[in-house]
Amino acid sequence: MTFDFDTVVDRRGTDALKWEAPACKWGAPEAIPMWVADMDFVSPPAVVEALARRVEHGVFGYASTPPSVFEAIASWMKTRHGWEVRPDWLSRAPGVVPSLYACVRAFSGPGDSVLVQTPVYHPFFSAVELSGRRLIRNSLRLEAGRWRMDFDDLVRKIDDRTKMIILCSPHNPVGRVWTEEELRTLAEICLARDLIVVSDEIHGDLVFHGHRHIPLAALGPEIAARTITLGAPSKTFNIAGLATSFAIASDRVLREGFRRELAAAGFDLPNALGLTAMEAAYRRGGAWLEALLDYLSAGADLAVRYFEERLGPLRLSKPEGTFLALVDGRGLDLAPKELDEFFLRKAGVCLSGGAIFGRETEGFARMNFACPHAVLREALERIERALAG
């Protein structure tokens, strides 16, 4: 099959956060939104068709989770990532962000410390701090244009009150797909220091040629017993609005602790349409994903060339995974808020300010390039005009 990623779909008037916020929150209705991490592509035909059949039924009462949903996820993990997952290791969740909060509350106590590797997706911070835990930042190092883990700093910052580390793999916003060597080193540290790992792998399917996503828990039974893996079809298949995700834990204590915490927060019944979409995506979405990855990779290449050839002091490196790229705006010598204003007001492009991810990315901005190439070109041309004017 061939799939169409070039058609521009008008999302205005559909309550799409990505498109409504520039006007409603920031007073920039004409800005091209390239901030929040959802795609401007129609979801896979298999998903749309499955939802249409379900909607045609016309009754949307309370839903239960059929075994076939977890079987589809387990099959996907084996086929896509070589990871043998038993369906009974899986738990439902309303989203990865609520799951982060649940894990922090379930596996640490008030006053305990939780490690995060910054810069990182900002809900990692709030999940720790709003739960009354102490946030410990282990900064990634930018070396020759590539972000790397600082293991020496990580070891130094672990103390007797450190209970867990939250891993972002692949990493948002730096776009790294961690190598097996990096993951094994991290696993050895966590095992030696008795840390639980909460591994956010929501972008695990979005990895470009030459790189491979390795689930941390797939490295061996020892680290698997200390890891709870969070995932969802939302980024891969552009169905974030259906609020359906999952957690994988081979260890019964971790699994039951996670489920208890979600239940204590009032989460009980699943989203009926979300279940339908998730199963259809994991059973019949593989060909669409392959085509999507080719399109995203071409878009990233387009953007990198444009930055190199025409955008002067701004720099962009192609991410190894995700559909998010960091624009290095330090060459403009602007304060973080001034850089945000440059993109939004002068260029008419709405990016995510780098400062929200940590001090390491002050002077950067995150760009979501998951859009038709014509829209991406228009955004790049706007930035070029802003630099010239």
3-state secondary structure 169-226: CCCCCCCCCCCHHHHHHHHHHHHHCCCEEEEECCCCCCECCCCCCCCHHHHCHHHHCC
Domain residue ranges of the chain, discontinuous segments joined by +: 17-44+287-388, 61-284
| 364-368 and 324-328 beta bridge pairing | antiparallel
Please compute the mean of the pLDDT values over residues 298-323 and round it to a whole number. 98
Q: How far is the C-alpha of 28 from the C-alpha of 8, rounded, in Å?
A: 20
- DSSP code at position 116: E
The CATH superfamily holding the domain 17-44+287-388 is Aspartate Aminotransferase, domain 1 (3.90.1150.10)
Domains 17-44+287-388 and 61-284 share a fold: no
Candidates 3.40.50.620, 1.10.1660.10, 3.40.50.720, 3.40.640.10; CATH matching 61-284:
3.40.640.10
Percent of the chain whose pLDDT exceeds 70: 100
Query: pLDDT tens digits for 3-34?
Result: 999 999 999 999 999 999 999 999 999 999 99
Predicted pLDDT at 68: 98
Query: Can you tell me the distance from the alpha carbon of 140 to that of 346, in angstroms, rounded to the nearest whole number?
Result: 31
Check whether 113 has a pLDDT greater than 90: yes
Which candidate, 210, 206, 385, 208, places its Cα nearest to that of 306?
Answer: 385
Pick the more confident residue, 159 or 1: 159
Residue 1: the pLDDT is 78
pLDDT of residue 389: 86
| Rounded Cα–Cα distance for residues 387 and 378 (Å) | 14
Distances (CA, A) of 167 to 53, 148, 299: 38, 13, 27
Round to whole Å and give the CA distance between 262 and 50: 28
Mean local confidence (pLDDT), 348-374: 98
Asked if residue 22 lies in contact with residue 350, where contact means CB atoms within 8 angstroms, the answer is: yes
pLDDT at 150 over 90: yes
Question: Is the pTM higher than 0.75?
Answer: yes
| pLDDT at position 142 over 90 | yes
d(CA 278, CA 285): 10
